[in-house]
Amino acid sequence: MTPIPVIIGQPPEQHLPEYREMLKYESGSANELVKGLPGRHSEPWLNALDFWEPASPLALTKTLQDPATAPAVRGRVLDVAAGCCWATARLSRVESVQEVVALDLSREFLTSVGDRIIDRLSGDRTKIRFAVSSFNTIPFEDEYFDCAFFIATLHHCESPIRTLKEIGRVVKTGGTLFLVEQSIPPLKIREARERALRLSRDSGFTELVYSRTEMQYWLRHAGFDRVTFHALEMSSSSQLKSWVRTGIRRLNLEHLLLPTLYVVEAKKGW
């Protein structure tokens, strides 16, 4: 089996939480966190995906199937914070995609767990490259990618505008960044931020919460001129709750009243 090529960029600065995160994955200690998770898979990291990010695969499937968003997924694609590379594997199977670069902090994690998950999920290895670097210094030239994905990671960024600007630098004019993130309604954001601060202090890692308006503001600052929010339909155990959410969404009040998971489509130079 041919090894996936690896591009080496700049590591995160040592005083940042991202550096500690890199060491956790580089040393293999992160693997201990997922060993005991229950699940339907023999692969622990796929059980971790089901446990911690159950909506992320659904969001990617929606993006690839929705006629409004699917045409933007083409050419050279960047998977920022690729992690175990489940999204990289799925994106590599898209016919219109020529290349997928899985970008993350740890070479060891990408070339062991990532490589294994790509095979498990039938990724097209001929299209894939790994890139090891800080997300604020992506090792590619300006306007290299046609499209980028940043899935369930923005809320861990210590400097979100800086990171989004760097992603915008490597995305072509006319290209698209897809974010998968949850927004918090303004009336609940103070309470949510207090919880996030406690979690950040206890864990040593960054946890942020924000409203839809703030997300749009950050993306516009980063050079993405048209930002569209596609609310993700989530199943509910209560039919009444589903009806209420549907009614609130039709009135365009959902982001003001309820936490909402979005696929955010951000166009550069549109």
Residues 69 and 62: their CA atoms lie apart, in Å, by: 9
223 within some domain: yes
Instruction: Convert the pLDDT of each residue in 53-101 to its tens digit.
Output: 999 999 999 999 999 999 999 999 999 999 999 999 999 999 999 999 9
Query: Percent of the chain having pLDDT more than 70?
Result: 97
Inside any domain, residue 201: yes
Which tens digit of pLDDT belongs to each residue from 127-181? 999 999 999 999 999 999 999 999 999 999 989 999 999 999 999 999 999 999 9
Q: Whole-angstrom Cα distance, residue 148 to residue 89?
A: 14
What mean pLDDT is reported for the chain? 93
Q: Return the pLDDT at 234.
A: 64
Span of 11-15, 216-220, 240-244 with lowest mean pLDDT: 240-244
Question: Is pLDDT at 202 greater than 90 in this prediction?
Answer: no
Instruction: Classify residue 211: in a domain, yes or no.
Output: yes
Q: Name which of 63, 36, 65, 64 is nearest 48 in CA terms.
A: 36
Closest CA to 184 of 224, 220, 154, 226: 154
Q: What is the pLDDT of residue 257?
A: 82
- Judge whether 85 and 118 are in contact, CB under 8 Å: yes
Is residue 76 assigned to a domain? Answer: yes
Note down the domain range covering 232.
6-268
Nearest to 81 by CA among 8, 154, 140: 154
Residue 203's pLDDT band (cuts 50, 70, 90): confident
Q: What is the pLDDT of residue 76?
A: 98
Residue 1 lies in a domain: no
Residue 224 domain-assigned (yes or no)? yes
CATH of residue 25's domain is: 3.40.50.150
pLDDT of 27 reads 95
Q: How many domains does the chain have?
A: 1
Residue range 114-124: mean pLDDT, rounded: 97
